[in-house]
Amino acid sequence: GVSAEPTSGHFCGGFRVHHVSIERARVRKDSSTKKLINDAIMNNDFLKKLDPQHMREMVDCMYERIYTEGQLVIQEGEPGNFLYVLADGLLEVMQNGKLLGEMRPRTAFGELAILYNCKRTATVKAVSQAHIWALDRQTFQSIMMKSTQATQEEYFSFLRSVSLLRDLPEEKLAKIVDCLEIDYFDKGEYIIREGEEGNTFFIIAKGEVCVTQTTEGCTEPQEIKTLGVGDYFGEKALIRYDLFADLFNHLKMEKKLCFPSSNFNQMVGTYEELQAYLKEYVEELSRLEATKLLIAVIP
């Protein structure tokens, strides 16, 4: 019959896949989706042993698939090309025609054939329509092959090229690398909205960002300036939160290349140190009434 799993190469069409210079193909996800996939990985006895950085890469590279009721996701005995996370819906697991159990959302599966290069040990079928995140074998292997150290070095040399961080002592820069995350924005998508409460400091790793602001007498927000690779924004949030660090200790890491301000404080230094770094830039932003800044990626 027809194989449940396509070969990995045919799988990407139609998905929002981003190609980024220092990265492999990634699919943008909101923070609740990332958390769901991460929880699923951490719930899996085999996958939870993976390196956290590899895990993050896996989360970033998974792409979405919808299965209809009755459709096979995995066929026992076949070679395995994908690792999956169930986000929504219900699946059943069978072996030799016997029902072994059900799978509910926040479950990772299909890991055995991928990790141990064996045939699929069970059949997995959609009982209802199912919303599933998938990662193909080739991407999984390329993530695993890349050493954590190589990625760290890439981030390290990028951060070193950022004017704000150029003079930071090595060990502090290394700590920033540890808490760094990467986020992706489509052309025209807003990163920060005018008037919004900010909690994230951004450094642009690729592309350009357009800053606009509402001006009296104009209906459309006016373009103030363009930021490019190595430029940063959102630093006002860092300084504000630094003063209230206790309140923000629970802040999740949501955006990248960026870090939550509470962490930034622990990682990089005191408020005074940071302020010295940012003083000039913040003054410039104050002149522009930075609390009203609106930032978007240039279409």
Q: Based on CB atoms, which residue is closest to ligand CMP, 73 or 294?
A: 73
Strand partners, 27: 17
Q: How many CA atoms lie within 13 A of 143 on its CB side?
A: 24
Q: By C-alpha distance, which of 75, 100, 102, 70 is closest to 86?
A: 102
SS3 content of the chain, % helix, strand, coil (to 5): 35, 25, 40
Touching ligand CMP, residues 211-230 (CB under 6 A): none
Q: Based on CB atoms, which residue is closest to ligand CMP, 119 or 292?
A: 119
80 binds ligand CMP (CB under 6 A): yes
> Using CB under 6 A, which of the segments 61-69, 120-128, 139-147, 173-181 binds ligand CMP?
120-128
> Using CB under 6 A, which of the segments 5-13, 111-119, 196-204, 262-270 binds ligand CMP?
111-119
Q: Are the C-beta atoms of 23 and 13 separated by less than 8 Å?
A: no
Q: How many CB atoms lie within 10 A of CB 42?
A: 14
The C-alpha atoms of residue 252 and residue 183 are separated, in whole angstroms, by 14
110 binds ligand CMP (CB under 6 A): yes
**Of 101, 169, 188, 228, which lies in the binding site for ligand CMP, with binding defined by CB under 6 A?**
101
Residues 6+ apart with CB under 8 A from 53: 148, 151, 152
Q: Are the C-beta atoms of 208 and 186 separated by less than 8 Å?
A: no
Q: Based on CB atoms, which residue is closest to ligand CMP, 74 or 191?
A: 74
**Of 8, 33, 121, 275, which lies in the binding site for ligand CMP, with binding defined by CB under 6 A?**
121
Residue 60 Cβ, how far from ligand CMP at the closest point, in Å? 21
Q: Based on CB atoms, which residue is closest to ligand CMP, 120 or 236?
A: 120
User: Which residues of this chain interact with ligand CMP, rule CB under 6 A?
Assistant: 74, 80, 93, 100-101, 109-113, 120-122, 124
